[in-house]
Amino acid sequence: MENEEGSDSCCSLHSERKSHHSDKTKKNLVTRLNRIEGQIRGVKGLIEKDTYCDDVITQIAAIQSALNSVSRILLEGHLKSCVIERIQEGDLDVVDEVLVTVHKLMKK
């Protein structure tokens, strides 16, 4: 998306930052999230059917793994584009922002 200064960047306007994923990446992420959404509905159904707890927990672990994969894809793209751009612009606050995000991911 082009900002007021004319550059195609996800982070140039700090008040209105946006990502700039390729269509292929967006499609991949949406497909993964749709699959996760279906898995969550499946777990809800398992609970409603009084499925054995260990089986439900196994399905929840699979969902968490799938969400972690989505996070890794997003983080990689963020580091390779937005973070590099902001550092090149002299905005070193982005490093602290990324560290906070990584800490949140590691808590899981």
How much is the pTM?
A: 0.78
Which CATH number goes with the domain that contains 29? 1.20.58.1000
**Domains held by the chain: number:** 1
Buried b (16+ CB within 10 A) or exposed e, 46-80: beeeeeeeeebeebeeebeebbeebeeeeeebbee
**Residue 97: inside a domain:** yes
**Residue 98: inside a domain:** yes
Quick one: pLDDT at residue 65? Answer: 96
Quick one: pLDDT at residue 50? Answer: 97
Rounded to the nearest 5°, which phi and psi values hold at 92?
Answer: -85, -10
Model confidence at 54: pLDDT above 90: yes
Residue 8 DSSP one-character state: B
**Residue 40: inside a domain:** yes
How confident is the model over 10-36, as pLDDT tens digits?
Answer: 554 445 778 778 899 999 999 999 999
**Residue 27: inside a domain:** yes
Domain that holds residue 70: 23-106
Model confidence at 5: pLDDT above 50: no
